[in-house]
Structures are given as structure tokens and as C-alpha cells.
Structure 1
Amino acid sequence: MQRHLTRIKTLACGTLLGAAALLAAPAHASLASFETSPPKVYDHGQTFQDGALTFTAQLATYLQEAGFSEGLGGVVLDSGNPNSCGAVNDCPSGTTGNFYAGVNDGSVNVERAGGFYALRSLRFSFFTPIGGIDDGSYGQLVLTGTTTDGLTVTRSADFAGQDNDGHFMFSTWTLDDDFAALKLSNLNISACLFDGNGGCYNMAEWAPFAAQFAIDDLQVDIPLPGSAPLLLLGLAGLAVLRRRAH
């Protein structure tokens, strides 16, 4: 009886150790704040690296479907430079340093070279095509994530309104637990505009090329290089201990 109990304890211990290895697969946080990316205009298909992520500027979907393959997709701007924004665009408030702006109904693809990542939070704002427009929430930021197993998951959040000086404001979006747990192979970030009847559209007939957004401080989790070997080690430990127990 004692010998049987000892085997059970050994197996239980091995199970706990293996489970700990599985649950503690190491990941570390990475921040894409665009501080290492100098202010620059990005045409469709052009990429840049920031933090652990690769950003690819995209033309508006309807332009791509119409056969266009060239044109402005986005721009990195310096919020502290008064020349970055002017009569054409009004820089949002509530951030410091650089940020990325998607313009002209365009979007941006966000990937991690060589693997997946999880998005925890980001900061975002409406990037108005002109200054001096009335206060209010004009639309939403739209996240379309593609997971490593091919699923497509979408989330959206309303843009904040203006500050006391009439500038649209950055706000922080902490993703829900279900989305934050996704293993993303790609994330497309775009904007849509409200139609006043409950709809939100990227190509708005009443305001073409006006679905614009600004993003900053993408907080992501990425797996460490040793994660997969650790998981395999945990499984191997379980298998060995089970064989010994029998």
C-alpha cells in the first residue's frame, strides 16, 4: 500500500511540474512606441520595424480592389514638431514623441517576423483630415486580427472627442481577455466613420478619404525563444514519470 501511494505521489509531482512548465511558457512584453522610427511618409507596401513588430502601410481596400498599387498609406509624425500637422491635418493631443497615422481610408498591417504575438493595449485617436471641425466621436478604430490557426477576429472602439483646445485626444484601449489571448500572425488596423444611422464605414460616400486614425504605444507579449523547448521538456517529464510509475 505504501509503495502504491509513493508511486501516486511521484506521478502527481511530475504532473504538477509538467503543468507548471506548460503554464509558465515564458513571454516578455514589448512596446512599439515609434520612437525609433523617424518621421517619414510610407507608401502602400512600404514597411518599417518598431520594437518587435513590423508595420506595413496599406492603401484603402477599395483602391486595392480597383487595381491601384501605389499611393500614400500612412506616416510617422512627431507630436512635438509644429510643422508635422497644420491646415491639412490636426495632430491629436495626449501623446508625446512620435506616433503613426493611417490616412486616406488606409490601414496598417502589424506582424512579428518569425512568429506570433499577443496585443494587450494601444493608444489611439481620430486623425482629422482638417482642423476646426465640431467636437464629437466621428467613428471607430477597427482591429482585424488573424490568428496562427487561421481565425479572423474583429474588435472596434469609438474615437474620443476633443480636448479644451479643440484637438482630438488619444485614449487608451485595453483589449478584452479573449482578444488579448489570441496568437496573432497578423493584425490590420483601420478606421471607419459613423453614418448617423448606426453604421460605420471605411469608404464613406459623404466623406471619402476621411477615415483616418493615429496609434501609439502598442503593448504586446511575444514568446521567448526558449518557450517551445520548455513546453516539450514539460511533456517529456510527464511521459517519463508516468512510465516509471507503472
Structure 2
Amino acid sequence: MSVDAVLLESPTMRSTVADRVEVLDRVRALELLPDEVHVTTEGVAAYFGVPEQTIYSLVHDHRAELTSNGYAVATGARLSSLKEVCRIQSRARSLALFTRRTVLNVAMLLRDSEIARQVRCYLLDAEHEARAARGSGWAAEAVDNPFPLPEGSVDAAVARVAEQVVRSVLAATVVPVLNALVDEVGGNSRRLDAVADRVDRLERIVLDDDERTVARRRRRLLGALDEGVPDDPDGPAY
């Protein structure tokens, strides 16, 4: 698929470059009516080097999109005024009118025209250059602001929403978990302190009991020596 085919196939892409009417004159001079605003079907066909019937067919297939970009049919009083201003010698009861924006729209829809293809290529080049310029401008500001977002832009709005979502998620999930961990660690620490206290008490009890046992056996041994008969039911102390 050719590079310019993206414009032929994508209405969204066409809408992003619909204002770049200056590329028309870079390819070929466009003859406007004396009002310097409109072009007739005949003038559009001459610009692209195709039969007028090709333009009629294109309008039939894409009328809504072309109308959104300026296409209109003059009748009644408007047609009379236009004929007078533009010195149009015609008895037709209606006249199809294209603006420069509409002609650019035709260039993005017309497949069988070399002029239309060149216009599409110029459009893509111009868009690429514009994006590169925007990118270099943002890069120059990166030192002061790593994430430069124009105030009120869609990107800025998305960034604010994303920040709010992250904050709400942290508040709803991460923070409670951290609090629970802190409580659990604190509880474990208190339990360890209690165990340590119990160990200390047991050590004191064991040591005290051992000292009392030794003292008791010493007294019994001394008593047996005095009487000459050992009376320690546990046997000799040696």
C-alpha cells in the first residue's frame, strides 16, 4: 500500500490535515471565482485533470464529508447574488460550490489523479514537519518541565484524570495494605516482647530453684557429717 493511501482510507487522518489548504498552491495554481472564495465543479475538475463526471461521482459518494468541509449548492437569491458578483453567464437554477478546504478534501478522496496524489504527499510531508517542529519545541522545554502539556489540551486533561485514578487506587488498595502490615509488625513486636519477658521470668525461677537446691543439699550433707550417717534420700552428694 502506498504511503498516501492512509489519507484515502482514513476519515480521521483526513480530518487532522483538513486545514492545510496551502499545499494546493504548492502543487498547482487553483482558479477561484472572482469572489476569491469558491470554485465550481468545472474548476475542480480542471485542477485535478479529471472529467467533471468524476467530481460528480465523488460528491455523490462522499457528500456528507465534503459538506462538512464547505461544499454547498447555491440556489435562489444566493445564486443570483453569486452570478452578479462573479459575472457568471449561466441559466442554471443551482450551482455547486467548493471552497479551498473542500478542494483539499477532494484531493484526499480522489484516487485516479496524479495531481491529487501529489497533494496527498505534500500533506503528509507538511504534517510530518509540523510534528517534528512541535517535538523539538517540547524537547527544548524538557529541562524545566519534563512533561509539558498545554493547559486545557486533551493531553493535559488525560494526565489529570490519570493522576486522580492513581491517587484513588493507592488510597483504596495500597494504603490499607501498608497500614495492615504496620499493625501486624507492631503486634508481632509486642508478642515477641511478651515472650522475652516470660523467658526472663523462667530463667530467674530456674536459677533461684537451683540455688535453693544446692543450699538444701549442703545443709543435709553438713547434718549427716555431724551425725555420722548420711540421711539424704537422694544418696551421697558427691
Regarding TM over 0.5, the answer is no
Please, what TM-score do these two structures have when normalized by structure 1? 0.20
Larger Rg: 2
Larger relative helix fraction: 2
> Which structure exhibits the higher relative contact order, with contacts defined as CA atoms closer than 8 Å and separated by 6 or more residues?
1
Larger relative strand fraction: 1
